[in-house]
Amino acid sequence: MILRDSTLEERMSWHAEQGFTVGIGGGSIAGLCNAIALRKIGATVRIYERVPGSMLARGAGIVVQSELTRLLAENGAGPLPRTSCRGRRYLDYDGGDGVLEEGPQEFTSWEAVHAALRAAVPDECYHAGSEVTAVTQKASKVMATLVDGTVVESDLFLSADGSGSATRQTMLPDVVARYAGYVAWRGTLDESDVPREFLSFFDDRFTFSGARSGGHILAYFIPGRDGAVAAGSRRLNWVWYVHVSPTDLAGVLTDKNGLRHRSSIPRGAAPESAVATLQARASREIHPKMAALVSATPDPFLQTIVDVRVSKTLFGRVLLTGDAAFVVRPHTAGGTAKAAYEAAALAGALNSAGANIDVALSSAERQQLEYGSALYEYGLALGNRWLRERRAD
Ligand SMILES: Cc1cc2nc3c(=O)[nH]c(=O)nc-3n(C[C@H](O)[C@H](O)[C@H](O)COP(=O)(O)OP(=O)(O)OC[C@H]3O[C@@H](n4cnc5c(N)ncnc54)[C@H](O)[C@@H]3O)c2cc1C
């Protein structure tokens, strides 16, 4: 044990002594996971995030997975506020109390994950409003050009720039984000706004309802905006997977100001008519209590479901990570866990290899491809089952 600890310290100091630098493009979940894991092994890390201000309005519920909690615990980050339930409830769209299944589960929110990770990264390492506009390499150095023209150099550059990754499009121009044929409408309701008579029904359960024309909606409690988890201060989070034909997609992605979005409609931007249509559809298609949740949510938002699979993530000293590499279906509840796993794998490989950086990067890529492919296939299988059910309806 003593030997292992001292070896670890020596290796940790190797990256610090050598002044090993890592630039990260993208300061969301994947960028931050990598930052905390790489700082722990002694690397000097700089994150460049395009968004200038707060990113807190982005997400909703996240199912807690062990990869994330392990990464947080091992790198001194957290605590992560969580809610929990003791099992699932499967509802029929016609009504009734459904079927109960035991099996505890924990939930958190995108904001809580982001806040826990961000708090573990010193401000001087995080550059908001710094879009990366180009990435070039010379020998073992990577040069990233920022939107203000500054060029920053590092020994390793991680592209954590999400599902529409510009780096991926440059490195792998044949890989396209393929629309899966459906979108996720999402919403969160402050607990105080949840119809009172439904509180105990949804409490302590991860609730699912099939929809009459196929697909399903799910709901679970998550921490409040400030991370509060006490009853009364949480939020009820729902996600409804809805089929939208490719020809109708452009209309669905147009916001209330007529602006066409690439892949999502942010909270508060959906046209009133789209929200009204969704609510009307809910009253016809899903369990009445779920429909009541949808109707009570003032500002539902929407994300298209896309598939991205890569056969390579490493290009010299540039590595794709998080959704910039694979985009897996949300049914896996695994996107955040994948980002955490990749960060731990990279830090572990670098830590073991010391000066053999390129060997470490190849090992990290292998682990990423293996984990990413398996999760991608699992997500496809879950999604295809969903679509089959829809066709059979
Ligand atoms: C409907 C739905 C439900 C989901 N539910 C879950 C769940 O329950 N559990 C789960 O684990 N995951 C879930 N996910 C997936 C999860 O949100 C992502 O996999 C995870 O957040 C990893 O994101 P990321 O950091 O790789 O990318 P993103 O969160 O997309 O971040 C990319 C970042 O890069 C920045 N950026 C982009 N371009 C540049 C540039 N040129 N320069 C600088 N910065 C740039 C962006 O501003 C952004 O901050 C869900 C996804 C969807 C669509």
The token pair at 100 is: 């109960």
Residue nearest to atom 15 of ligand 1 (CA): 335
| Distance from residue 41's CA to the centre of ligand 1 (Å) | 25
Between CA 296 and CA 288 the distance in angstroms is 12
Between CA 281 and CA 387 the distance in angstroms is 18
**pLDDT at residue 12, as a whole number:** 56
Residue nearest to atom 41 of ligand 1 (CA): 132
| Distance from residue 59's CA to the centre of ligand 1 (Å) | 9
Residues of the chain with CATH 3.30.9.60: 83-109+181-306
CATH topology of domain 83-109+181-306: D-Amino Acid Oxidase; Chain A, domain 2 (3.30.9)
Angle at 194 between CA 193 and CA 199, to 5 degrees: 140
Ligand 1 atom nearest the C-alpha of 58 is: 29
May I ask the CATH architecture of the domain 2-50+129-177+308-392? 3-Layer(bba) Sandwich (3.50)
Ligand 1 atom nearest the C-alpha of 25 is: 43
| Distance from residue 29's CA to the centre of ligand 1 (Å) | 6
| Distance from residue 245's CA to the centre of ligand 1 (Å) | 24
Between CA 352 and CA 387 the distance in angstroms is 44
Query: Structure pTM?
Result: 0.93
**pLDDT at residue 393, as a whole number:** 43
| Distance from residue 339's CA to the centre of ligand 1 (Å) | 9
| Distance from residue 14's CA to the centre of ligand 1 (Å) | 32
Residue nearest to atom 29 of ligand 1 (CA): 28
| Distance from residue 335's CA to the centre of ligand 1 (Å) | 8
* φ, ψ dihedrals at 225, nearest 5°: -55, -35
Best of 32, 47, 49, 182 to mutate for ligand 1, by most ligand atoms within 8 A of CB? 49
Which segments of the chain are extended strands (E)? 21-25, 44-49, 61-63, 83-92, 95-109, 126-128, 132-138, 141-146, 151-154, 156-159, 178-190, 205-210, 216-222, 235-243, 264-265, 301-307, 314-315, 318-320
**pLDDT at residue 390, as a whole number:** 53
> What is the chain's percent helix, strand, coil content, to nearest 5?
40, 30, 30
| Distance from residue 329's CA to the centre of ligand 1 (Å) | 12
- Ligand 1, pocket residues at CB < 6 Å: 25-31, 48-51, 55, 62-63, 131-132, 160-163, 166, 184, 239, 303, 322-324, 330, 333-337, 339
Could you read off the pLDDT tens digit of each residue along the chain, which spans 393 residues? 333 444 555 555 788 888 899 999 999 999 999 999 999 999 999 999 999 987 766 668 999 999 999 999 999 998 999 999 999 999 999 999 999 999 999 999 999 999 999 999 999 999 999 999 999 999 999 999 999 999 999 999 999 999 999 999 999 999 999 999 999 999 999 999 998 888 999 999 999 999 998 889 999 999 998 899 999 999 999 999 999 999 999 999 999 999 999 999 999 999 999 999 999 999 999 999 999 999 999 899 999 999 999 999 999 999 999 999 999 999 999 999 999 999 999 999 999 988 899 999 999 999 999 999 999 999 999 988 866 665 444
The residues near 3 (Cβ < 8 Å, ≥ 6 apart) are none
**pLDDT at residue 56, as a whole number:** 62
